[in-house]
Amino acid sequence: MGIFTVVELGNGTRRWRFVFGLPYGARTLLDMVMSSKACADLFQPPERRAPRWLQVALFLLIYAAFQWGYQSLRSSRWDHWFIHQLTVQPAAWLVQVISPAEAVQAVGYRLVWPGGGLALRAGCDGFEVIGLFIAAVLVADVGWRRGLVALVSGCVTIWALNQLRIAALYAAVRYDRSWFDSLHTGVGPLILIAAVAGMYAWMVRRPLVAPTA
């Protein structure tokens, strides 16, 4: 069963509307609605602003290309790198830092501890959400410097939050399984989505040119 979530950000003049279909691990859909021509002009000159339909089309094209590349890599020998190197090992290290007595180890695609384990499959690595953020940044007219900073800092932030999500899932499995489903399909993914929305809003709402005295 999926969770259908709508998140809206705006101040009455400019609004971003994010629509996500979850279950976690399925492909996430994004619909960004940016309204108010007058507010858009505050961030870029009219001659540089792409039509909304073109921005949406480019976003969908970039995200589709990202998903195609991601799924192709996941079905190749790189799958071990995505899951074990970028997901399971950092999560095991994080749990050990928080609580060394847990004796958690990274074994293949699983977090393993005495008496149990947690399997991390496709979608648990957070790269689908990272793909949403990359596509959103690439279609935003914010300048290449700010775009590059946003890409690097945003992707690292999303990845780090996903590691915290996995650590929380581990704690739920080990100590209170009643929290697992909520963290897995609700709270955890929504935190990642909120991070994407917040970073994107911060990026586009800052003026392109610093005000002069």
Q: What is the sign, positive or negative, of the torsion defined by CA atoms of 144, 148, 154, 155?
A: positive
- Model confidence at 116: pLDDT above 50: yes
Tokens for 59? 């976003």
Higher pLDDT, 6 or 148: 148
**pLDDT attached to residue 29:** 37
Other C-beta atoms closer than 10 Å to the C-beta of 160 total 14
Nearest residue to 163 via CA among 79, 77, 104: 104
Centroid of chain to Cα 87: 14
**Strands 15-22, 3-10: parallel, antiparallel or unpaired by DSSP?**
antiparallel
Say what the pTM is. 0.71
Collapsing DSSP states into helix, strand and coil, what is residue 175?
helix
**pLDDT attached to residue 111:** 93
Nearest residue to 194 via CA among 3, 9, 48: 9
Mean pLDDT of 159-172: 93
Max avg pLDDT among 40-44, 62-66, 117-121? 62-66
Centroid of chain to Cα 36: 26
Contacts of 211 (CB under 8 A, 6+ apart): none
E strand or H helix at 182: helix 180-182
- Model confidence at 18: pLDDT above 50: no
Nearest residue to 166 via CA among 101, 83, 108: 83
